[in-house]
Structures are given as C-alpha cells and as structure tokens.
Structure 1
C-alpha cells in the first residue's frame, strides 16, 4: 500500500490503528541502532534510511538524483515489510540473519532478496532488527556499493 506522506510522522499517522504501534516501534529500534551517517527520509512511499548526498554525492546508481538507499520499513496490505539492501548485497550478512532468526522467532522466515515480511503484527523480532541495523556502517555500505 502506498501512502502520500511527506515525513515519517505523516506516514505513521495515515496507517490503520493496528499498524501505527508496530511501525513506530520498528522506526524507534532502527533509529537507535543505525550507525551514524544514515539519514531518515521518505523514499518510494516508505520510511527509508539512506546515505545522503552530503556523504555520497554520486547517489543511487539507478538514479543519481536519489540518495543511496539502505533500509526501509513499510506497511503493506497484509504485512509489515523491512527492506534491507545489506542482506541482498552481502552474503555473510544474509547468512548471519538467517542463522539468528530462529533464535528470536518460532515462525519460518518469510524473506525475499531484500524484503523481510511479517504477517503477524504480534511476532516481530525488534531486538533482531536492531542488531541487523547495526551491522553495516555508512562507510562499509558505500564501499560495498562501489564494488
């Protein structure tokens, strides 16, 4: 689902009541965990965390006018999604996440290339998402993307 939001707060305010607390908590955990340098913004209609042009002037290789994307959270029709480009680009990070997930959850991991999906709003491993958010610094992400 796409929301016409100009800020993360505006996005959250447009959500159905059962999603507001979930997205707010994910946002809080991510903001507390992300290494210095990433910037919170709205991108692709989602709350996103990017490397700003001030740190990486080249921007996103698909569209240099956009900042380098790293992570997003979104309320979709039937689920909440976390998009983490690091698990797509870094096999070691993906392996770590896949191994850690069962330590935090009893349900099967529902994941695409960079999308981690949660259909049950009462079963989101916030601590694990916080740990995942810490794993890559801005400098490491820029280096990974430049390769």
Structure 2
C-alpha cells in the first residue's frame, strides 16, 4: 500500500494507532543508528532512507531524478515491512541477519529478497533493526550498488 503523504510525519499521521507506534519506533531506531549521509524522505509511497543527490548525483538508475534508495519502512495491509537493499545484495549481511534474528524474537522470520515482514507489531526486533542500520555506510552502499545494479 503506497501512501500519498508528502513527508514522513504526514505518513505516520495517516496510520492506525498501533502502526503509528511501530513505524515511529522503527524511524527512531533507524535514525539513531544509520550512518551519516543517508537522508529520510518519502520514497515510493513509503518512508525511505536514501543517498541524496548531493552525495550521489547519478541517482537511481531506474529514474535518475530520484535519489538512490537504500532502506524503506512501510505499513502494509497485513504487516509492517522493512526493505533493506544491502540484505538483498550482500550474502554475508543476509547470513548475519538470519543468524541474529532468533536471538531477538521468538517470531518466525518472514523475509523475501529485501523485505522483512512483521505481522505482529509487538514482535518487531527494534534493537536488531537498529544494529542492521549500522552495518552499511553510504560509500559501501554506493559501491555495492554500482557493482551489482547500475547498468
């Protein structure tokens, strides 16, 4: 479900109370832990953390007018989602996350390529998401992106 909100705060205001609390907690832990250089924006109808054009002028290859996406959080119809591009593109980081996940929650891991889904907001491992946010710098993400995605 994409939102028409223009700002992350507006996005959160449109959510039901339980989702509002979860998304705000995710925003807080991500912003406290994300390395310097990423910016919080609305991206693809979700709250996004991107490499701004000021640091990566080429932007996103699918639409160079957009900044390079890295991480998104969203309240979907049946779950809260964290989309993390490096978990998808770096097998070592993926393996780390999968191994760490059971240490933080009893919930079964529900994960696609870059999407980590949480059907119950009380089972979101905020501390683990915060740690995941620390794992990749802007330079590391740009390097991985250029190696794997940019055509």
Q: TM-score, normalised by structure 1?
A: 0.98
Q: Deviations over 1:95-146 (max 9, x none)?
A: 0000000111112100000000000111110000000000000010011111
- Secondary structure (helix, strand or coil) at the match of 2:107 reads coil
Deviation at 1:61, TM superposition (A): 1.4
- Secondary structure (helix, strand or coil) at the match of 2:24 reads helix
Output the CA distance in 2 between the equivalents of 1:3 and 1:51: 21
Output the CA distance in 1 between the equivalents of 2:104 and 2:32: 19
Root-mean-square deviation over aligned CA pairs? 0.6
Q: Deviations over 1:46-69 (max 9, x none)?
A: 000000010001111111111110
Q: Does 1:35 align with 2:15?
A: no
What residue is the counterpart of 1:60 in the other structure?
60
What residue is the counterpart of 1:120 in the other structure?
120
What residue is the counterpart of 1:5 in the other structure?
5
Deviation at 1:2, TM superposition (A): 2.2
Q: Deviations over 1:6-39 (max 9, x none)?
A: 1000000000111110000000000000000000
Output the CA distance in 2 between the equivalents of 1:134 and 1:75: 22
Deviation at 1:3, TM superposition (A): 1.8
What residue is the counterpart of 2:80 in the other structure?
80
Structure 1: gaps (5+ residues): none
Structure 2: gaps (5+ residues): none
What residue is the counterpart of 2:138 in the other structure?
138
